[in-house]
């Protein structure tokens, strides 16, 4: 590792300490990676690409030291909750549609049967035989 890389890592760690202590100097003080990058004076993409271990360390420290859920995890949990609700609604709708299909099929069969009895014809009069497929 070169000196610039080591300097960036040291600044990120110092920024972590300041953010977790609530003493932000260069950011709004939120416990996010964006605030961490701003606080450290490091480009956000540099933090996300070159120092992923420090990003993970930051999220772990936020979780343990402040007893807060890190922002990305919170957003993911909200998305999972919304998706679970959507899946539950869709399952209920599918079940309702299946029941509707069964009721409509039964109603159709009853109408065909009643119509055949009223006209005196059998249901077989309107059946068209299919040809066998050639092999």
* Residues 28-79: tens digit of each pLDDT: 888 888 889 998 998 888 888 888 898 888 888 888 888 777 777 888 899 9
Check pLDDT > 90 for residue 86: yes
3-state secondary structure of 2: coil
Cα separation, 63 vs 33, whole angstroms: 14
Instruction: Choose among 76, 83, 42, 43: nearest CA to 59.
Output: 76
**Alpha-carbon separation of residue 71 from 26, 30, 59, 67 (angstroms):** 19, 9, 9, 12
Check pLDDT > 80 for residue 13: yes
Query: Does pTM top 0.85 for this prediction?
Result: no
Residues 40, 11 contacting (CB under 8 angstroms): yes
pLDDT at 127: 66
């Amino acid at each position: 590792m070169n000196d610039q890389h080591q300097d960036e890592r040291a600044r990120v760690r110092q920024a972590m300490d300041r953010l977790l202590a609530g003493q932000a100097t260069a950011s709004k003080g939120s416990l996010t990676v964006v605030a961490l990058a701003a606080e450290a004076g490091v480009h956000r993409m540099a933090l996300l690409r070159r120092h992923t271990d420090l990003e993970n360390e930051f999220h772990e420290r936020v979780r343990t030291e402040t007893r807060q859920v890190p922002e990305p995890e919170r957003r993911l949990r909200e998305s999972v909750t919304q998706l679970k609700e959507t899946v539950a609604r869709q399952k209920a709708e599918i079940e309702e549609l299946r029941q509707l299909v069964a009721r409509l099929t039964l109603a159709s069969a009853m109408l065909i049967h009643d119509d055949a009895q009223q006209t005196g014809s059998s249901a077989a009069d309107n059946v068209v035989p299919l040809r066998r497929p050639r092999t």
